[in-house]
């Protein structure tokens, strides 16, 4: 079957050159000869059909004779000729000899009174025919194991710039021709498939670089048989085979197209989700997540997969969460800060990995903290506790005086939030915090659910002392976590816990040499605590390193 398919392939590829060359050489074939070894012992003749033949008393020898030494004599076909090797003394044409010797036709070997007559007959030797490439039609005789390649020192030279210097190794092993690719830049293609190692059969076509070789082993199948015209029955079988192959090809193409379409929609969905993390606009996040869900649905029409379900659930959850954030934005004036923070906290598990959400939540948390401080300060003042009220007012003013440091080591005044400076701290009647993609939150007019009293007030002042005055990050984190165990909604504890953790992380990143990431964290800290001296110094320091 393969022979007939091969015939059609040969006739269809490079037809004019290929057919003309092979038609000419079909008539003037030159068969290289190789000696066939026959051992004549008395009236019997042993045909040696392998390249290594042993004689001795050992039962594993090819010819066993108890009168011989265990491995008395061997015959090997090496590099185009037969070599004898005697491990014990023999006579070659009457002359005693031990070791290797060349065999010739009609040689006589004597082992005691045992005589062996040598008969060498010519047989056809395998070869390559160049059918496409330089020197089309020429033959490369395979006489020995060796290297085939472009290099002038190669055993078999191919004049082709796309062939590697040492492209492949040809090994003659027990009468078989083994082709082994030597990891060339252009791989070896045998009968249309890439092989690293393959036993060659007569009629095999080998492509290396831009050269096409036909392997012929005349003993197995002469060249003229490779190209002989197939019968009608064979043609019918070929046609049926072609129809089957075309059906397989069409099915494969259809399946491949569906797989490609699946991954097209799948990758689009993943890309849209990734882009939703990067943008700082809520409406763009919602649009991208909707597009991702649309592409996921398209992919599901082709096939379902666990990965598709995972990113589908991720996109749906994030879309619902951001739609809730958008709703909060639109109803901002109807919500007090406590309700606003509570609404956002419910979304924190889904959106905690999003920078925009983190910034929004942190700003709302800060607004609520300062609003609590203002409300508490008013209450304390009404009760005549001027000193405690003054401390809280000073904290509020320190958090809303905004300065920004650029990477050129300059401190620039920002006009967004300004508080009148007086000799005695007072509360402005118009203090607002600008929350990204939400708007401005007036922290003096928001209705508060509670004021800080007793232990809560002491905790707030202690946290401020640990973090701002002493710079004790570990102490701040520990105290904040202890407070949150008793009071999970304690705004002061949550605020200082977040900012202290960010600072610890920023310090660690800077130690690891990840300056850009550290700079981003210090910038976030400065947005929450505009007069944070450590953040300002860190930004100046890192600005000179990036």
- What are 473-525's pLDDT values in tens digits? 999 999 999 988 988 888 888 889 989 999 999 999 999 999 999 998 898 88
DSSP 461-489: HHHHIIIIIS--HHHHHHHHHHHHHH-TT
The number of residues in the chain equals 546
Number of domains in the chain: 4
Is the same domain home to 259 and 351?
yes
Residue 346 pLDDT greater than 60, yes or no: yes
Do both 116 and 203 map to the same domain? Answer: no
The pTM of the full predicted model, rounded to 2 decimals, is: 0.43
**427 falls within a domain:** no
Question: Could you tell me if 378 and 289 lie in one domain?
Answer: yes
- According to DSSP, residue 217 is labeled B
Closest CA to 165 of 185, 194, 145, 138: 185
With respect to residue 244, please indicate whether it lies within any of the assigned structural domains: no
Q: Is residue 378 part of a domain?
A: yes
| pLDDT of the residue at 204 | 93
pLDDT tens-digit series, residues 13-26: 443 344 444 444 43
Q: What is the CA radius of gyration of the chain?
A: 45
**Judgement on whether residues 534 and 481 belong to the same structural domain of the protein:** yes
Q: Are residues 158 and 113 in the same domain?
A: no
Give the integer Cα–Cα distance in Å for 416 and 413.
9
- What pLDDT score does 58 carry? 93
pLDDT value at 84 more than 50: yes
Residue 49 domain flag: yes
Are residues 315 and 331 located together in one domain of the fold?
A: yes
The range of the structural domain enclosing residue 302 comes to 252-384
pLDDT score recorded for residue 79: 67
Q: Is the pLDDT of residue 330 over 80?
A: no
Domain final residue, candidates 121, 149, 174: 121
**E strand intervals along 103-187:** 108-111, 114-124, 127-132, 139-141, 146-149, 156-157, 168-173, 176-181
Q: What percentage of the chain exceeds 70 in pLDDT?
A: 80
SS3 content of the chain, % helix, strand, coil (to 5): 45, 25, 30
Q: Are residues 83 and 139 in the same domain?
A: no
User: Is 398 a residue whose pLDDT tops 70?
Assistant: yes
User: CA-CA distance, 9 to 97, in Å (whole number)?
Assistant: 55
Same domain, 136 and 109: no
- Same domain? For 299 and 341 the reply is yes
Q: How confident is the model at residue 11 (pLDDT cuts 50, 70, 90)?
A: very low
Q: Same structural domain for residues 360 and 380?
A: yes
Q: How confident is the model at residue 369 (pLDDT cuts 50, 70, 90)?
A: confident
Q: What's residue 443's pLDDT?
A: 54
- 378-382, 445-449, 453-457: lowest mean pLDDT where? 445-449
120 vs 494: CA distance, rounded Å: 99
The answer to whether residues 72 and 104 belong to one domain is yes
Cα separation, 413 vs 529, whole angstroms: 15
Whether 152 and 107 map to the same domain: the answer is no
Query: What tokens does 208 get?
Result: 């290396």
> Among the three residues 334, 350, 384, which one is the final residue of a domain in this structure?
384
Helix axes 355-382, 491-511, angle to 10 degrees: 140
Q: Does 322 score more than 80 pLDDT?
A: yes
Which residues neighbour 149 within 8 Å (Cβ) at sequence distance 6 or greater? 156, 157, 158, 163, 164, 165, 166, 167, 168, 182, 184
Under DSSP, is residue 347 helix (H, G, I), strand (E, B) or coil? coil
> What is the rounded distance in angstroms from the CA atom of residue 528 to the CA atom of residue 50?
87
Tokens 């003309």 sit on residue? 20
* CATH code for the domain of 80: 2.60.200.20
Burial label, 219 (beta-carbon count in 10 A; 0-12, 13-18, 19+):
middle
Domain contains 107: yes
Last residue of a domain, one of 121, 136, 151: 121
CA dihedral 155, 158, 159, 161 (to 10 degrees): -110
517 in a domain, yes or no? yes
Q: What is the rounded CA–CA span in Å between residue 210 and residue 150?
A: 12
Does residue 81 belong to any structural domain of this protein? yes
Give the model's confidence band at 191: pLDDT under 50 very low, under 70 low, under 90 confident, else very high: very high
Structural domain contains residue 396: no
């Amino acid at each position: 079957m393969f022979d007939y398919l091969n015939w059609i392939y040969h006739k269809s590829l490079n037809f004019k050159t290929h057919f003309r060359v092979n038609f000419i050489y079909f008539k003037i074939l030159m068969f290289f000869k190789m000696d066939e070894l026959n051992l004549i012992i008395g009236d019997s003749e042993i045909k040696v059909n392998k390249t290594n033949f042993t004689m001795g008393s050992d039962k594993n020898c090819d010819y066993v004779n108890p009168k011989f030494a265990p491995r008395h004599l061997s015959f090997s076909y090496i590099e185009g000729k037969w070599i004898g090797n005697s491990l014990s003394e023999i006579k070659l044409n009457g002359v005693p000899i031990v070791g290797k010797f060349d065999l010739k036709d009609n040689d006589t070997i004597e082992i005691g009174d045992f005589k062996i007559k040598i008969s060498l007959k010519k047989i056809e030797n395998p070869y390559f025919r160049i059918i496409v490439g330089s020197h089309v039609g020429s033959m490369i005789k395979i006489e020995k194991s060796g290297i085939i390649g472009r290099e002038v020192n190669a055993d078999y030279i191919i004049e082709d710039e796309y062939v590697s210097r040492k492209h492949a190794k040809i090994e003659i092993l027990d009468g078989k021709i083994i082709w082994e690719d030597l990891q060339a830049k252009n791989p070896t293609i045998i009968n249309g498939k890439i092989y690293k190692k393959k036993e060659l059969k007569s009629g095999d076509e080998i492509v290396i670089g831009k050269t096409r070789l036909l392997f012929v082993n005349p003993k197995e199948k002469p060249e003229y048989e490779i190209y002989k015209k197939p019968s009608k029955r064979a043609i019918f079988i070929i046609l049926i085979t072609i129809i089957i192959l075309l059906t397989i090809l069409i099915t494969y193409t259809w399946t491949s197209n569906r797989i490609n379409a699946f991954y097209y929609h799948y990758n689009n969905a993943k890309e849209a989700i990734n882009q939703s993390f990067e943008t700082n606009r809520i409406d763009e996040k919602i649009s991208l997540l909707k597009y991702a869900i649309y592409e996921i649905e398209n992919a599901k029409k082709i096939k379902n997969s666990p990965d598709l379900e995972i990113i589908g659930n991720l996109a749906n959850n994030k879309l619902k969460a951001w739609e809730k954030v958008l709703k909060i934005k639109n109803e901002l004036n109807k919500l007090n800060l406590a309700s606003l923070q509570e609404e956002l906290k419910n979304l924190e598990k889904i959106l905690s990995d999003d920078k925009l959400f983190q910034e929004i939540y942190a700003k709302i948390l800060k607004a609520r903290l300062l609003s609590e401080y203002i409300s508490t300060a008013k209450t304390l003042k009404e009760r005549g506790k001027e000193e405690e009220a003054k401390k809280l007012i000073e904290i509020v003013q320190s958090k809303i005086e905004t300065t920004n440091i650029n990477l050129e080591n300059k401190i620039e005044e920002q006009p967004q939030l300004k508080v009148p400076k007086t000799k005695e701290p007072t509360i402005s009647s118009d203090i607002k915090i600008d929350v990204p993609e939400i708007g401005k939150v007036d922290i003096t007019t928001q209705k508060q659910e509670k004021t800080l009293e007793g232990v809560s007030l002491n905790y707030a002042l202690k946290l401020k002392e640990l973090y701002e005055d002493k710079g004790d990050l570990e102490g701040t984190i520990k105290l904040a976590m202890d407070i949150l165990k008793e009071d999970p909604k304690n705004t002061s504890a949550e605020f200082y816990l977040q900012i202290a953790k960010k600072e610890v992380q920023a310090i660690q990143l800077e130690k690891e040499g990840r300056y850009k990431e550290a700079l981003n964290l210090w910038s976030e800290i400065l947005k929450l605590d505009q007069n944070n001296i450590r953040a300002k110094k860190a930004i100046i320091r890192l600005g000179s390193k990036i």
